[in-house]
Amino acid sequence: MTPGAAEPHRAAVLGSPIAHSLSPVLHRAAYVELGLTDWSYDRFEVDEAGLPGFVEKLGPEWAGLSLTMPLKRAVIPLLDGISDTAAAVDAVNTVVFTEDGRRMGDNTDIPGMIGALREHGIEQVGSAAILGAGATASSALAALARICTGEVVAYVRSEARAAEMRQWGERLDVEVRTADWADAADALRAPLVIATTPAGATDALAAAVPERPATLFDVLYEPWPTALAARWSMFGGAVVSGLDLLVHQAVLQVEQMTGRAPAPLDAMRRAGEKALAER
């Protein structure tokens, strides 16, 4: 396809729930900045059961899809191929439809994390801590596989979750040690702390922020700041937000779907900040 050509091009984000998604705001801002007046980006409430039917009905005007939970793994059997990055964590958040009709999957969350950290001056760390053990935690481990030279400690609530994180560590070739969530305050002394938990889960840890914290990467963007991030900033620590991650992974999606690079990161971030402020 030719970016900017006269025929319409469509893209969208799918998931359930999806009403909260900022992806349309970010992608549309990119289209405006790139002059892609014939491109549109929407959101659709789609669950795992409805995904195959939705994908099958897409016409040739479709350029790509962004996928959020619970579809990142469910989409894989519907694709013609996935990138090594997506295969590393069994999760696809980006589908691009090629000119010859193939459906190709990728994961931009992992390089998005690395890009967000790099923007804040974090190129490499000697060790790190992860709070939580869900799907985002595995992506965090995959990112750390590229930038962490030493041990990663994952703080989890159950032995089952601990076993999962150790398995991910073996698969991604990351040295992972697990610890009980009751000791999560110990994580805050790490050179890099990645919080991958749902809203409110780390609030009780705010009181334990050390006097000279290093870097916190909190993957949440709403509500923002979290209690932990606010306290971290108050003590002078560096904070990378969920919006930073969202923008960086969306930049890569826009570039893949439209064929235009670089995507306008600053314009996309401003649009996201404006949308969050209006909420």
Q: Provide the annotated active-site residues.
A: 72
Q: Tell me the C-alpha distance between 53 and 247, whole Å.
A: 29
With residue 167 as reference, give the H or E element that holds it. Answer: helix 159-172
| Residue 89 contacts residue 81 (beta carbons within 8 Å) | no
| Two tokens, residue 126 | 């000697």
∠256-262-244 over CA atoms, to 5°?
A: 85
Residue among 109, 172, 170 nearest 146 (CA): 172
The DSSP call for residue 199 is: T
Please give the full DSSP string across 47-72, using - where no structure is assigned: -TTTHHHHHHT--TTEEEEEE-TT-T
Between strands 103-106 and 94-97, the pairing is antiparallel
Q: Tell me the C-alpha distance between 127 and 84, whole Å.
A: 24
Cα-based torsion angle of the residue sequence 34, 35, 37, 38 in order, rounded to the nearest 10 degrees: -60
